[in-house]
Amino acid sequence: MEVTPRRIWQATHVVATVAIPWVLAVYFLQADKRTITASAHLVADFHTKAAIAAGVLLASSVLLRCFGRSVAATIPFALMWAAALAFSISQVRAYSGRFFCESEFCIPDFGLLITAVPFAVVVSAAVIGSAAIAHWTTRL
| pLDDT the model gives residue 26 | 96
pLDDT at 103 exceeding the cut of 80: no
Q: What confidence tens digit (pLDDT) does each residue in 39-49 have?
A: 999 999 999 99
How far apart (Å, rounded) are the C-alpha atoms in residues 58 and 98?
Answer: 30
Residue 79, pLDDT above cutoff 90: yes
Return d(Cα 56, Cα 95) in angstroms, integer: 22
Residue 107: CB atoms within 10 Å:
12
